[in-house]
Homo-oligomer: A and B are copies of this chain.
């Protein structure tokens, strides 16, 4: 057997850390469900052909081989690298059984064979919500999805999250108006702004045949941002001074995009004040977005990059007909930061609120009965593993982080933190509410 060493990129938590992760996930589930999102889970694998597609993530796919299989005996399978590809396949496969607009959330692990040294994980939880329509999807859903995610993030023990929103139609209309033909290519370059800077973007755009005037316009557009609809004035000012080709179709798309973005930012801020910023620099690398695009930054943790991203797409399914909006939280990266930066921690590592002491091995049954009586009233309890001296049993509780020790013979319960010991009745004794279960508390 090989020596035990952690695998880089595959995080694992201690029991106390898992309390924090599980409580974050449980909070997300609750917020999503309160807003009418149904949960689904998809299998972890998809055919490699489907996964590969045209996404950048495709080259980091983990393919599976059965050790026992003959070469070529199975269809080639790979682990999913996000929850969108499997969700698209799920909708396609189960469409006749689903009611549209279909609102679903999905919290599962995904795998990416990236180089792990960049603080990226190879196995991590994502939490996605999507609303997918049949043929149509009203624009107000773009606001709703952002609002649900903003509320979900606000319910977590993390600093304030700000959602940066842009609109693909606005950008596309503008790019085409200034004479850019390869809009997708230009978007991919602008998406690298944080990595390669203005000069880098300019260089890439030049290589893609974008004129210098158009490069200026693109970079000026990317500078515009506002916490309200004042970005609209800034865009109008820019438009005044920008050379445009007079492409009326493009200008119409541009104008519609502006109106959509203004409405969206207003709607999100009306529901969750101070959440949304119109930010014309947000590009998102993925080609399939066709309306709103979102990225979310955590105050004081901007180095994490976007912790919750997504957008609107014309169709989830290759054949068309399933327009939708979705956003995805990178849960593991968030949990890792919460733990690493000490933003929150668990009140204890074990569920038990009470350790029932054992007077002697012959009396173990009496202790079991006390524990059962507590459990029947929803109080997590365990019985001491051995009838050691009470001092030892109390030490055992301390080591496990259990706050109360119950002594069957005297019918007393001791809060081992304060040392206070009082008579108690299993039929009605209650721990303080905050001690009943392990909780995650902000630092």
Given A1-B50, A138-B385, are A399 and B113 neighbors across the interface (CB < 8 Å)?
A: no
Given A67-B60, A67-B61, A349-B38, are A44 and B141 neighbors across the interface (CB < 8 Å)?
A: no
The interface stretch among A182-190, A275-283, A301-309, A375-383 is A375-383
Flag if A63 contacts B64 (CB, 8 Å).
yes
Flag if A10 contacts B99 (CB, 8 Å).
no
- Tell me whether A219 is interfacial, beta carbon within 8 Å: no
Flag if B2 contacts A18 (CB, 8 Å).
no
Residues of A7-35 at the interface with B, using a CB-CB cut-off of 8 Å, are: 7, 10-15, 18-19, 21-22, 33-35
For A113, give its contact among B4, B62, B68 (CB under 8 Å). Answer: B68
The interface stretch among A88-96, A204-212, A243-251 is A88-96
Task: Give the Cβ gap from A218 to chain B, nearest Cβ, in Å.
Answer: 31
Q: Which residues in B have their C-beta under 8 angstroms from that of A164?
A: none
For A4, give its contact among B92, B270, B368 (CB under 8 Å). Answer: B92
Bound-state CA distance A61–B69 (Å) is 10
Given A4-B93, A38-B350, A65-B63, are A43 and B11 neighbors across the interface (CB < 8 Å)?
A: yes
- Tell me whether A411 is interfacial, beta carbon within 8 Å: no
Bound-state CA distance A36–B355 (Å) is 9
Given A22-B39, A113-B66, A138-B385, are A49 and B1 neighbors across the interface (CB < 8 Å)?
A: yes
- Tell me whether A213 is interfacial, beta carbon within 8 Å: no
Q: Which residues in B have their C-beta under 8 angstroms from that of A140?
A: 361, 364
Task: Give the Cβ gap from A389 to chain B, nearest Cβ, in Å.
Answer: 16
Flag if A64 contacts B67 (CB, 8 Å).
no
- Tell me whether A154 is interfacial, beta carbon within 8 Å: no
Bound-state CA distance A37–B144 (Å) is 39
A to B CB contacts below 8 Å, 10 in the list: A6-B93, A10-B43, A12-B43, A36-B350, A36-B351, A38-B351, A44-B109, A44-B123, A63-B64, A133-B385
